[in-house]
Amino acid sequence: IKPIHKPYFNKLGLSFSIPFNKTDVFFDFNSFIYDTRYGFQVSLGTKIRPGKKAAWIPQEENVYYQLFEKRYGVYIGLYKHFRVPKHLNFKHRIVLGVEPSLSFNNFTALSEKQAPTVIISPVAGVHINLASNVNLELSYTYCQLGIININPHRIRVGLNVSFGFRPYKTDFDNYYIIKE
């Protein structure tokens, strides 16, 4: 018997979430692949702000222009799920991760194109199993957009739906394989 150390990616999924705070909201759509052996998740997604948001753009010291901004972005999310306690059928998982994103913004009243910015957002939260392949996501994310009047702290509420594309294995099956 030899221990297996490779990840066992056996679930694909889709997710919709809404990261929001008192001053801003985004719609987040992504697809993900999940590793049941170590609890790793990799996602590819997009964030879209519905409508336009008033943004204060600094021009001089204590002088700002108020412009209306449209923003969207694409990201790759890297997450680690922790089972508490460590058994497979527990309904809650703590999730820590990071979302490096490429963010695009356009301001009304400005003719020049804005350069895309890279934003790295840490994520911490909990996933609650509602059914065998459906999770409710409640998390906190810090997303600094570089605009003074938009708060970077966000709460995210989302729904994840997944399906297995490889056979489901228990913890013991995921850890050991017999080599003859």
* Token digits of residue 73: 């972005």
Beta strands in the chain (DSSP E): 2-3, 9-20, 27-35, 40-48, 53-60, 63-83, 92-107, 117-131, 134-142, 153-164, 176-177
Q: What is the pLDDT of residue 170?
A: 54
Confirm if 18 and 25 have CB atoms less than 8 A apart.
yes
Nearest to 29 by CA among 53, 48, 10: 48
Predicted TM-score (pTM) of the model is: 0.82
Tens digits of pLDDT across the chain (180 residues): 566 678 888 899 999 999 999 989 999 999 999 988 888 999 999 999 998 988 888 888 888 888 888 999 999 999 999 887 765 566 788 999 999 999 998 888 777 778 899 999 999 999 998 988 899 999 999 999 888 888 999 999 999 999 988 776 655 555 544 444
Q: Where are the domains of the chain?
A: 2-52+70-102+114-177
Q: What is the pLDDT of residue 122?
A: 97
Confirm if 79 and 94 have CB atoms less than 8 A apart.
no
* Architecture of the structural domain at 2-52+70-102+114-177: Beta Barrel (2.40)
Residue 106 CA neighbour count, 13 Å, CB half = 9
Nearest to 26 by CA among 132, 121, 162: 121
